[in-house]
């Protein structure tokens, strides 16, 4: 982490877990456990149906609320979709965009991811853009090429003045929900290369201001070592974020 130039952000992604009735007990426990949040920003990304409760529960705290998805359209006849402006009006601050599960299960292309990034930014919200390689791509030695392409396409047409509002989460697909984790050195290497891509596109000052997270089975046991790496500025946490005690332990690691 480099807290001199950029924010450290620990974001929890509940995915399709828990119930609306679980939100208040969870938030009460997390607010108590994470009461000493000092050097990082904490985000909880819930399913759409729980966002109103989460916004209310975390009001007047140092914990922000994020959504897990968004439409690339601002309004119109798009049944079942939710726009960035609707999320903003609700009190949401962050939006996960391009998670590998959205790409794999729902056919989200790099072009769709880019359109969603722009919609989120235009609404004044902060996108958390997910990038990462599959196990086969890693074995073939094309991690750098895959991640580079995803980053460049996600940022295509995004003006420099808005790039500082973007968070990029490096999530190797082979590590999501598997219990496998990239070594701190390997994770940091990819995060450093992501920053180099941003530097080439937008310059050094912008690149050093962008928060780059690591995702992929970050947990209380490995969080400290991962977050000690220079170019890892936080984590996008899946399973461990469902348990307030585990999530709070990762937040503590970010407060180092």
Q: Where exactly are the structural domains of the chain?
A: 9-254
Choosing from 99, 101, 108, 133, the catalytic residue is 99
Q: Provide CATH code, domain 9-254.
A: 3.20.20.70
pLDDT average, residue stretch 148-159: 98
Residue keyed to tokens 């082979």? 174
From the candidates 41, 101, 133, 171, give the one annotated as an active-site residue.
Answer: 171
Report d(CA 138, CA 148) in Å as an integer. Answer: 13
How does residue 12 score in pLDDT terms, banded at 50, 70 and 90? very high
Average pLDDT over residues 138-147: 95
What is the C-alpha radius of gyration for the chain, rounded to an integer number of angstroms?
17
Q: What is the pLDDT of residue 217?
A: 86
Identify the pLDDT of residue 37: 65
Say yes or no to pLDDT of 111 above 90. yes
∠ CA 1-142-163, rounded to 5°: 45
Asked if 39 is an active-site residue, the reply is: no
Do the Cβ atoms of 30 and 63 come closer than 8 Å? yes
């Amino acid at each position: 982490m480099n807290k001199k130039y950029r924010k450290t952000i620990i974001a929890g992604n509940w995915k399709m877990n828990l119930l609306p009735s679980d939100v208040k007990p969870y938030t009460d426990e997390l607010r108590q456990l994470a009461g000493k949040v000092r050097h990082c920003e904490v985000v909880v990304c819930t399913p759409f149906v729980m966002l109103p409760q989460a916004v209310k529960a975390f009001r007047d705290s140092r914990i922000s609320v994020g959504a897990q998805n968004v439409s690339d359209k601002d309004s119109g006849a798009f049944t079942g979709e939710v726009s960035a402006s609707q999320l903003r009006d609700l009190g949401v601050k962050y939006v996960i965009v391009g998670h590998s599960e959205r790409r794999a299960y729902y056919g989200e292309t790099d072009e769709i991811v880019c359109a969603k990034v722009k919609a989120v930014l235009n609404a004044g919200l902060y996108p958390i853009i997910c990038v990462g390689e599959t196990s086969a791509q890693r074995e073939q030695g094309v991690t750098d090429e895959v991640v580079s392409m995803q980053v460049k396409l996600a940022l295509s047409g995004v003006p420099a003045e808005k790039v500082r509002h973007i968070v990029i989460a490096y999530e190797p697909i082979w590590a999501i929900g598997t219990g496998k984790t990239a070594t701190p050195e390997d994770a940091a290497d990819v995060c450093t290369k992501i920053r180099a891509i941003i530097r080439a596109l937008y310059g050094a000052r912008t690149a050093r201001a962008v928060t780059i997270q690591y995702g992929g089975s970050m947990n209380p046991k490995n969080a400290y070592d991962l977050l000690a790496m220079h170019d890892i500025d936080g984590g996008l946490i899946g399973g461990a974020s469902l348990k307030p005690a585990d999530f709070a332990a990762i937040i503590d690691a970010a407060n180092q």
